[in-house]
């Protein structure tokens, strides 16, 4: 009689372990599919948002000004100074002349 009870307990225990494995597998599939669905939604939205922020903040503001000698009419001595605020201090400005020529760090 005792052998029958032992076999019955073992079979019930094996069934319980099998049900626990099945439940764990189902839970893994459920949370895995939820994570995959969220990644398909959240990642593109975050990428779009980060690009918008980068476009707003990462502009290279170029300072432009024209210099004309005082008392003289505009001529070949007139030029435009263009300097990027993102360039290193050691690089010189870019000089643009009316005839289209350039001089400096253009």
Write the pLDDT tens digit of every residue in 77-98: 666 766 666 666 666 677 777 7
Residues 19 and 71 in one domain: no
Residues 29 and 68 in one domain: no
Residue range of the domain that includes 53: 1-59
Residues 50 and 71 in one domain: no
Query: Cα(first)–Cα(last) distance of the chain, in Å?
Result: 98
Instruction: Check residue 26 and give its pLDDT.
Output: 95
Residues 70 and 49 in one domain: no
Q: What percentage of the chain reaches a pLDDT higher than 70?
A: 57
Q: Could you tell me which residues come within 8 angstroms of residue 63 by beta carbon, excluding any fewer than 6 positions away?
A: 81, 82, 83, 84, 85
Give dist(CA 63, CA 90) in Å, integer: 17
Residue 75 has pLDDT above 60, yes or no: no
Residues 45 and 93 in one domain: no
Residues 66 and 50 in one domain: no
Beta bridge partners of 62: 84
Residues 9 and 27 in one domain: yes
| pTM of structure | 0.38
Q: How far is CA 22 from CA 33, 35, 85, in A?
A: 16, 20, 62
Residue 23 has pLDDT above 80, yes or no: yes
Tally of domains in the chain: 2
Tell me, what DSSP letter sits at residue 52? H
Q: Could you tell me which residues come within 8 angstroms of residue 65 by beta carbon, excluding any fewer than 6 positions away?
A: 80, 81
Instruction: Check residue 18 and give its pLDDT.
Output: 86
């Amino acid at each position: 009689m005792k052998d029958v009870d032992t076999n019955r307990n073992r079979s019930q225990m094996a069934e319980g372990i099998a049900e626990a494995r099945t439940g764990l597998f189902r839970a893994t599939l459920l949370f895995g599919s939820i994570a995959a669905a969220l990644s398909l939604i959240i990642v593109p939205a975050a990428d779009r948002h980060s690009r918008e922020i980068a476009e707003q903040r990462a502009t290279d503001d170029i300072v432009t000004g024209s210099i004309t000698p005082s008392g003289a009419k505009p001529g070949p001595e007139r030029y435009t100074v263009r300097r990027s605020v993102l360039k290193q201090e050691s690089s010189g400005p870019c000089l643009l002349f009316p005839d289209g020529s350039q001089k400096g760090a253009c």
